[in-house]
């Protein structure tokens, strides 16, 4: 104890010294920032007064150009001092959270390494006084206990000994306590953190990143890193901390925000994760849902069903035969087999589907259709069909241009004969020439413009075309039924989501696509919900990217998956190197909630809960909907009174959510969560399962868990997703007969 007092005093003295450094640097940074702003104003004023205001003439442009350099350097100085101010202000709130005393084999003394959310240099001593959590040496904290340890520095591996591992609680600038972290105490600290209430925005976990999570976050050796993890094992947290790490790591390979793209399951999730990178001191990274990629890729922006509506439609479909056919059709069109058919179709377009007409001009056949076709077929195979056709167009018009010289005297003669106005002969001849060229251009554009939607419709609508392209592909037994169902759907002006994907893939095969060429890292969360065609599209869209892919084969919606998912992904993306990490420990749920949720998975699924206890989930029955509503309200109010901030009432689909909302809205303050909704900070939310993916609530109520709603293997997975959204409390409600999947819990 006495020793603790002494240590505490030493730590407080150190902390105060650090605070002083931060304050001094903050003062300087603010001065630098104001000065740079003033300099920028000055340069602007100077430019305004002394330079020409037009860059159109040479002198004006030359005068303006002498200001570009000072303007750029002033702007850079403002940005970097603003960044420094942000960092220092963050450090003032919580300067560091850990310390390790490390003695490398090459040195004789232990160095005190303080670890925080950013690097702090001591300007006088030119040393680092706080190490960024992403620095190589900080990995010692996440990966080792006291004793032998090593880390990989840019110059090679450094081995040594950790003499001390200490953690600090510094909140809002106040040093609260420290403890020396053996495994047990560190677990206690993590338990305390996990016991807190959630908020509508995801939090950072830098203080408690676990060893295997750290390995995933810092992996730079694999082009494709895949993580299979049970619900709540930290996949999304890993994804975002990894992005922050990749942006920090190695000067030469450092990624800019614009080099990275995150693929989220829905827009609500995009909002949920939007705070993490700014909290880590990084700019936000572009986050998209797959539908955005489809919209960006299709030139004429056809209307198509959203991914959300596609899954909602399946979940809520009550006719088992319609649902089965819809699913078979969808699964076929998003399969590897279908993408192979689309590949063959794209390859066969110039030989079999584009009609190359004879091109005539000045009464002569300038090019025969056969010549044009052969010319395209002989072009370099690595360029896209769209580019080949545009080269062909150029070739045709170069020739016509030459022939126009001979053509003009003839047109003049014709004009003389035609014209009722003898003085306008030349003008009239020019008009005739333009008319001819326009007609010719129309004729050429007609066969070279490839409309992916019409081409796709032709593939589905033409008897036997698809069959003829599928020589080496195994087709579903009921392919005839699938095709006629698809034809009916394609008659609609809005494309089904799976058709929009197929059209996108076809467009990517035949068209040019440079939109995402700069992207170097693609992060895909909730990967289990994507089909092979999604990954084929990603491969086409992001040819220069490395991938981080995170998923849980047990959290599929209207789909069954197994570990072969990761083999298929690897097979499609063809990375130089790949690895798959499996994480079985959940940090989100109490151990009672996790073991209750495990009844929805196959026996033998490995899982481990972070040892945090809570109430046993209850399965509550009511004799009527009215009484059930009453019980829901009772539980929501109870949860609120317990201090839980976010309470999620999870329904099977959007329709059920809406109807429950309209019955409860005058009796309880609540929010109905739609797609595109803004995330609120706290409250009671009614949300369909699809929208709840990836999110979490302090207390979860699953509505209507009766036999009719939850009876298929796919429904069982929905119950797993819904029940694992709960951090501290979980209860299930039903009328009639309980779903046969629910055995555990205490029936009331």
Ligand X SMILES: Nc1ncnc2c1ncn2[C@@H]1O[C@H](COP(=O)(O)OP(=O)(O)OP(=O)(O)O)[C@@H](O)[C@H]1O
Q: Tell me the residue number closest to ligand X, measured at CB.
A: 234
Helices (H), 581-692: 591-597, 625-641, 654-664, 689-692
Residue 203 binds ligand X, judged by CB under 6 A: yes
Distance CA 8, CA 462 (A): 80
Q: With respect to ligand X, which residue has the nearer C-beta, 53 or 203?
A: 203
- Kindly state the smallest distance separating residue 717's Cβ from ligand X, in Å: 12
The residue range among 224-232, 404-412, 514-522, 631-639 that interacts with ligand X, by the rule CB under 6 A, is 224-232
Residue 210 binds ligand X, judged by CB under 6 A: yes
Under 8 Å between Cβ of 148 and 140: no
Q: With respect to ligand X, which residue has the nearer C-beta, 552 or 715?
A: 552
Residue 587 binds ligand X, judged by CB under 6 A: yes
Contact map string, positions 684 to 703, toward ligand X, x by CB under 6 A: ----------x-x-------
User: Which letter does DSSP use for residue 286 in this model?
Assistant: E
Which residues have CB under 8 Å from 319's CB, separation 6+?
none
Phi, psi at residue 464, to the nearest 5°? 70, -5
What SS3 state is found at 585?
strand
Strand (E) or helix (H) holding 360: strand 359-361
Q: With respect to ligand X, which residue has the nearer C-beta, 129 or 276?
A: 276
Report CA-CA distances (Å) from 457 to 252, 451, 495.
47, 10, 10
Q: With respect to ligand X, which residue has the nearer C-beta, 328 or 645?
A: 645
Distance CA 179, CA 288 (A): 41
- Kindly state the smallest distance separating residue 618's Cβ from ligand X, in Å: 22
Residue 724 binds ligand X, judged by CB under 6 A: yes
Q: With respect to ligand X, which residue has the nearer C-beta, 33 or 167?
A: 167
Residue 572 has a CB neighbour count (10 Å cut-off) of 18
- Kindly state the smallest distance separating residue 383's Cβ from ligand X, in Å: 41
Query: Out of 139, 228, 233, 570, which residue is the one contacting ligand X (CB under 6 A)?
Result: 233
Helices (H), 259-384: 267-273, 276-279, 290-297, 307-316, 320-333, 336-348, 369-378
Distance CA 309, CA 727 (A): 28
Contact map string, positions 541 to 580, toward ligand X, x by CB under 6 A: -----------x--x-------------------------
- Kindly state the smallest distance separating residue 500's Cβ from ligand X, in Å: 26
Residue 205 binds ligand X, judged by CB under 6 A: yes
Q: Considering only CA atoms, give the Rg of the chain.
A: 32
Query: Out of 232, 452, 511, 704, which residue is the one contacting ligand X (CB under 6 A)?
Result: 232
Contact map string, positions 165 to 194, toward ligand X, x by CB under 6 A: -------------------------x--xx
Q: With respect to ligand X, which residue has the nearer C-beta, 354 or 722?
A: 722
Distance CA 389, CA 233 (A): 50
The residue range among 81-89, 202-210, 246-254, 350-358 that interacts with ligand X, by the rule CB under 6 A, is 202-210
Distance CA 746, CA 316 (A): 28
Distance CA 240, CA 657 (A): 30
The residue range among 69-77, 231-239, 346-354, 679-687 that interacts with ligand X, by the rule CB under 6 A, is 231-239
- Kindly state the smallest distance separating residue 234's Cβ from ligand X, in Å: 3
Query: Out of 136, 234, 350, 745, which residue is the one contacting ligand X (CB under 6 A)?
Result: 234
Nearest to 600 by CA among 723, 683, 515: 723
How many alpha carbons fall within 13 Å on the CB side of residue 62?
3
Tell me the site size for ligand X, rule CB under 6 A: 24
- Kindly state the smallest distance separating residue 222's Cβ from ligand X, in Å: 19
Under 8 Å between Cβ of 21 and 122: yes
Residue 208 binds ligand X, judged by CB under 6 A: yes
Q: With respect to ligand X, which residue has the nearer C-beta, 52 or 675?
A: 675
Provide the β-strand partners of residue 261. Answer: 286, 522
Contacts with ligand X, residue ranges (CB under 6 A): 190, 193-194, 203, 205, 208-210, 213, 229, 231-237, 552, 555, 587-588, 694, 696, 724
């Amino acid at each position: 104890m006495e020793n603790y007092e002494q240590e505490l005093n030493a730590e407080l003295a150190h902390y105060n010294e650090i605070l002083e450094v931060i304050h001094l640097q903050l003062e300087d940074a603010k001065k630098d920032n104001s000065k740079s702003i003033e300099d920028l104003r000055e340069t602007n004023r100077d430019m305004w007064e002394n330079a020409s205001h037009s860059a159109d003439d040479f002198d004006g442009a030359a005068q303006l150009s002498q200001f570009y350099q000072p303007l750029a350097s002033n702007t850079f100085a403002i940005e970097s001092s603003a960044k420094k101010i942000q960092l220092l202000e963050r450090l003032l709130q919580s300067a560091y959270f850990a310390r390790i005393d490390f003695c490398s084999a090459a040195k004789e003394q232990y160095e005190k390494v303080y670890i925080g959310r950013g690097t702090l240099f001591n300007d006088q001593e030119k040393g680092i006084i706080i190490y960024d959590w992403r620095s190589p040496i900080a990995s010692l904290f996440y990966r080792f206990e006291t004793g032998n340890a090593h880390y990989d520095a840019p110059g090679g591996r450094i081995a040594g000994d950790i003499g001390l591992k200490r953690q600090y609680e510094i909140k809002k600038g106040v040093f609260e306590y420290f403890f020396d972290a053996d495994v047990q105490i560190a677990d206690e600290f993590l338990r305390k953190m996990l016991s807190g209430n959630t908020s509508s925005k995801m939090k950072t976990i830098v203080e408690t990143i676990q060893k295997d999570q750290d390995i995933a976050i810092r992996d730079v050796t694999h082009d494709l890193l895949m993580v299979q993890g049970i619900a709540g094992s930290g996949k999304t947290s890993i994804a975002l901390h990894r992005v922050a790490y990749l942006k920090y790591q190695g000067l030469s390979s450092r990624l800019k925000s614009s080099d990275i793209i995150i693929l989220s399951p829905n827009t609500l999730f995009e909002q949920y994760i939007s705070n993490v990178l700014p909290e880590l001191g990084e700019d936000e990274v572009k986050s998209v849902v797959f539908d955005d990629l489809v919209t960006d890729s299709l030139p004429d922006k056809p209307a198509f069903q959203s991914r959300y509506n596609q899954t909602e439609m399946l979940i809520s479909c009550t006719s088992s035969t319609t649902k089965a056919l819809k699913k078979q059709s969808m699964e076929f069109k998003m399969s590897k087999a279908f993408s192979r058919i689309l590949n063959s179709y794209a390859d066969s377009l110039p030989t079999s589907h584009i009609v190359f007409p004879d091109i005539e001009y000045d009464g002569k056949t300038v090019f025969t259709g056969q010549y044009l076709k052969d010319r395209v077929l002989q072009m370099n195979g690595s360029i896209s069909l769209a580019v080949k056709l545009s080269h062909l167009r150029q070739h045709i018009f170069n020739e016509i241009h030459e022939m126009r010289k001979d053509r003009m005297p003839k047109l003049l003669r014709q004009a003389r004969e035609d014209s009722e106005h003898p003085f306008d002969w030349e003008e009239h001849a020019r008009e005739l020439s333009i008319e001819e060229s326009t007609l010719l251009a129309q004729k050429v554009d007609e066969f070279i413009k490839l409309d992916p939607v019409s081409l796709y419709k032709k593939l589905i609508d033409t008897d036997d075309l698809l069959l003829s392209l599928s020589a080496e592909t195994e087709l579903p037994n009921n392919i005839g039924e699938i095709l006629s169902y698809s034809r009916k759907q394609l008659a609609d002006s809005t494309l089904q989501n799976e058709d929009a994907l197929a059209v996108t893939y076809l467009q990517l095969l035949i068209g040019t696509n440079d939109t995402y060429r700069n992207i170097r890292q693609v992060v895909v969360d909730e990967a289990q919900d994507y089909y092979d065609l999604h990954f084929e599209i990603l491969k086409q869209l992001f040819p220069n990217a490395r991938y981080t892919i995170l998923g849980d084969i047990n959290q599929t919606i209207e789909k069954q998956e197994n570990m072969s998912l990761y083999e298929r992904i690897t097979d499609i993306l063809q990375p130089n190197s790949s690895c798959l990490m499996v994480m079985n420990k959940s940090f989100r749920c109490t151990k009672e909630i996790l073991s209750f949720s495990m009844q929805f998975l196959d026996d033998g699924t490995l899982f481990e809960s972070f040892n945090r206890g809570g109430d046993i989930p209850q399965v509550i029955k009511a004799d009527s909907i009215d009484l059930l509503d009453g019980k829901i309200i009772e539980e929501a109010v109870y949860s609120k009174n317990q201090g839980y901030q976010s309470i999620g009432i999870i329904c099977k689909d959007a329709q059920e959510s809406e109807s429950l909302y309209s019955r409860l809205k005058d009796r309880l303050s609540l929010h109905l969560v739609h797609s595109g909704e803004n995330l609120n900070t706290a409250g009671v939310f009614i949300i369909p399962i699809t929208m709840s993916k990836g999110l979490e609530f302090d207390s979860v109520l699953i509505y209507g868990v009766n036999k009719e709603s939850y009876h298929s293997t796919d429904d069982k997975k929905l119950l797993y997703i819904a029940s694992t959204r709960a951090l501290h409390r979980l209860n299930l409600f039903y009328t009639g007969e309980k779903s046969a999947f629910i055995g555990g819990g205490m029936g009331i």
